[in-house]
Chain A
Amino acid sequence: MSKTNRIFFWLLVFFLLPWSDTSLWAMKTADPPSSWFIDLSRFSRSAHGSLTCEQCHGAMKEKDRPHPNLQDPRFLKEEATRRFDYKQCQACHRLSYERYLKGAHAAALEKERKGLTNTPDLSGKKNPAPTCGDCHSSHYESAHRSRLETGRWMTDQCGTCHPAQKATYLDNFHGKAAVHLGNTKAAYCTDCHGAHTSLSLKDKQAALQACLRCHPQATLNFAAQVIHPTLPAEAKADPEKAAKVAVIKWVTVVMGGLVILVVAFFYGHSLVWLLRDLHEKIRKRN
Chain B
Amino acid sequence: MMLLSLRWTSLIPEHRAHEESRLLMSPQAAVIADNPHLGVSPAALRVEGLSKTFPGTRGLIDAAIEIRPGEVHALVGQNGSGKSTLIKTLAGYHMPDPGALAEIAGEPFALGETVPEDLRFVHQDLGLVLELSAMDNLALRGGFIRGRAGRIRWREQERETYRILDRFDVELDIHRPLAEATPVQRTVVAIAGALQGWHGGRGVLVLDEPTAVLPHDEVERLLAMVREVRRSGTSVLYVSHRLDEIFEIADRVTVLRAGRVVRTLPVADVDHRSLAQLMVGTDVDPDYRAPVADRPDSPVVLELRDVHGRRLHGLSLQVHRGEILGVAGLPGDGVQELPYALAGHARHPVRGEIRLPQRSSAWSELADARQLGIPLVPADRAHEAIVSEFTVRENLTLSVLDRIGSRGRLDAAAEQGLVARWTERLAVVAASAEVPVSTLSGGNQQKVVLARCLARDPELLVLAEPTAGVDVGTRVAIYELIAGLARDGLTVIVSSSDLGDLLAMCTRIVVLRDGRVGAELGAEGLTEHELVNAIEGERSAHGANNATQ
Are A and B a genuine interacting pair, yes or no? no
